[in-house]
Amino acid sequence: MKKVYDSATEALDGLLFDGMFIAAGGFGLCGIPELLLQAIKEAGTKDLTFASNNAGVDDFGIGILLQTRQVKKMISSYVGENAEFMRQYLSGELELEFNPQGTLAERMRAGGCGIPGFYTKTGVGTVIAEGKEVKNFEGQDYILERGIVADLSIVKAWKADVTGNLVFRKTARNFNPPAAMCGKVCVVEVEEIVPVGSLDPDMIHLPGIYVHRLIQGAHEKRIEQRTTRNKESA
């Protein structure tokens, strides 16, 4: 099975369609599949639903798809750094389903493991619980959350071998493994593709069984929040 492709556009060929559901890895601007997101923008695929911790910033990450009105709905935990996201949500142009971060990660992981739902205390007694089944275990209420199964997963890793075994770098690991697991098809962009046998089996974070297509590319690695101080005050 061929997994390595020459570009993000080629890796997404035949996978994109209007109205599809995409799970995207990353947290803020850390570990986001920026090359694949750019390719989706260029493809013009619209009415998209994204499951992602956040939507990037106005001009980077999923934010570039918000600018072009290609996103219909976000399933997210945090949206505070994206002014266009906020504007579209408040104006009713964009549908938003808020999920606590741990719940969102577990929904992705559960979907990837074939678990259709699970109970959690997180969100009990809040708007998160509205419309969801409540069950009592040992005197405590829990709400039912559904596992996520997406049409497509797009993620970013540090290294991969040609069979798709992945290694993530430090905090860029974040939402990428569970996002990769929950897609019917998973496309990964990496900084380096190495020969089979080059990776220590004990250091592989996600096995290649989850990965269908791979690309290698150069990444921008932006800093989302930069804090500085005057030299005189140091």
pLDDT confidence tier of residue 29, bands split at 50, 70 and 90: confident
Q: DSSP letter for 43, please.
A: H
| The pLDDT value given to residue 56 | 84
Beta bridge pairs of residue 87: none
Q: What is the 3-state secondary structure (H, E, C) of 102-170?
A: HHHHHHHHHHHCCCCEEEECCCCCCHHHCCCCEEEECCEEEEEEECCCECEEEEEEEEEECCCCEECCH
pTM above 0.85, yes or no: yes
pLDDT tens-digit map of 192-223: 999 999 999 999 999 999 999 999 988 776 66
Dig out the tokens for 56 from the structure: 């990037």
Check if the beta carbon of residue 22 is closer than 8 Å to that of residue 150: yes
pLDDT confidence tier of residue 144, bands split at 50, 70 and 90: very high
pLDDT tens-digit map of 34-77: 999 999 999 999 999 999 998 888 888 999 999 999 999 999 99
Domain ranges of the chain: 8-216
What is the rounded distance in angstroms from the CA atom of residue 197 to the CA atom of residue 163?
10
CATH number of 8-216: 3.40.1080.10
